Chain A
Amino acid sequence: MKTFIQIQRYGDYGDREPVKAEGATQNQADWPLWEVFIRSKMGLDHKHVGSLHAADAQMAIENARDVYTRRQEGISIWVVESKYIHASNPDEAASFYDPANDKVYRHPTFYDLPDELKAM
């Protein structure tokens, strides 16, 4: 039976391509993978921009600054080790997202209000 949300490394193939156990191939000289999220300007969300390798969080932030903001692309950086990313399973996309299709009341245009009503 499939679990609804699988804990997988970013980009992991799950059971289709058995991934070697953590540490089995990890050489001491290979740093773990981190995902990088950057806020490009005040008021915007942090957005996933890519990944990099670093030995620790501090280094990951500094690397992210050097790698992903060489052209002033950001003002704030988040990093998270890729193995801690939990992702939904695309095979379940139908049951995961489709139910929201008919919940039009979540969308503001559903409500029929007089035009005179401003700033809402």
Chain B
Amino acid sequence: MEKQATINLEQQFQDRVDQDIRIEPKDWMPEKYRQTLIRQISQHAHSEIVGMLPEGNWITRAPSLRRKATLIAKVQDEAGHGLYLYSAAETLGISRAEMIDQLHTGKAKYSSIFNYPTLTWADIGAIGWLVDGAAIMNQVPLCRTSYGPYARAMVRICKEESFHQRQGFEILLTLSRGTEAQKAMCQDAINRWWWPSIMMFGPADDASPHTAQSMKWKIKRFTNDELRQKFVDICAEQVKILGMQLPDSELKWNPETGHHDFGKINWEEFWQVISGNGPCNKERIAARVKAHEEGAWVREAATAFASKQAQKQSAAVA
């Protein structure tokens, strides 16, 4: 009897999803759906937060006041995006503190791209163009994801994200029209960020464990490979405006498929970086843990002050 009831609920749930009716926090949902969402949203949030670090690196070294202000605003936006996403995940019954704890203890993953170092100023441009470009490609379909709070957070994020990619491309464009040293800096950054960027779409469809179910639930709306191909096609054109090369000798237009063919991705590297062996995994987490721990006394003080005030107020009323 009870089992039958669950089946009905699941059927109703799937019907709603199929009709593109958003699922809201208090609606019934399969436990697995909830878990999948918590995992995906919190990883997305963690990626925004950890992503602040490689770019934040260059705030104090940005080469002009305009670039400095733009970069602060951009990194600050990422904090905002992390906050929107943590909020969305919190509607699923997990607290931000728990999620942050999962990040700090290594239980939760985040986008592997942020474990690569930012070595020159051109890296800030390359991150904007390629990393944010890949992120946008992933995020735009998520504005229609089945879970309401997640979809709404993504709408807000996508609106703000468009300036990020533009500022990145502008940095590269300026470098590509600059001195020989600047041009070399530009090409070098593209060389280092290209492959990690196309890895950002995740494992190939035949090796991606969560994709099928996520597609059915409309958490994800396109497969990893579909999005990756779209991204390659766009970048292959955009790089010409920079007068630079993408570091892939097999990259070429294929008139039969109407897409660009591209070289083989080094998945070994991807899995290594994901599992903690990237160039900066340890520094990134250490930096987050340090900020959190050094902030503890601040957060405690504010809590203590707030409860003192509340007591004073209730004493005054009584």
Contact = CB atoms under 8 A, between A and B. Distances in A.
Contact of B304 (A13, A28, A71): A28
Interface of A: 8, 10-14, 17, 19, 25, 27-31, 33, 49-53, 55-56, 59, 67, 70-71, 87, 89-91
Contacts, number: 78
SS of B interface (majority): helix
Nearest to B310: A56
Given A50-B153, A70-B77, 7 more contacts: A27-B97, A28-B299, A28-B300, A30-B95, A30-B303, A56-B309, A59-B302
Given A31-B303, A55-B306, A56-B306, A25 B91 contact: no
With a 10 A CB-CB cut-off, give which of B77, B90, B152, B295 has the most chain A CB atoms. Answer: B90
Interface of B: 24-28, 76-77, 80, 83-84, 87, 90-93, 95-98, 149, 152-153, 156, 160, 295-296, 299-300, 302-306, 309
What's the dominant secondary structure at chain A's contact region? loop
B299 A31 contact: yes
Contacts of A52: 83, 87
A30 B303 CA distance: 8
Contacts of B77: 70
A100 to B, nearest CB: 19
A47 to B, nearest CB: 11
A56 B305 contact: yes
A54 to B, nearest CB: 8
10 contacts: A19-B93, A25-B95, A29-B299, A33-B87, A33-B96, A50-B84, A50-B156, A67-B83, A70-B80, A90-B26
Question: Which one of B25, B26, B160, B306 has the highest number of Cβ atoms from chain A below 10 Å of its Cβ?
Answer: B26
A13 to B, nearest CB: 5
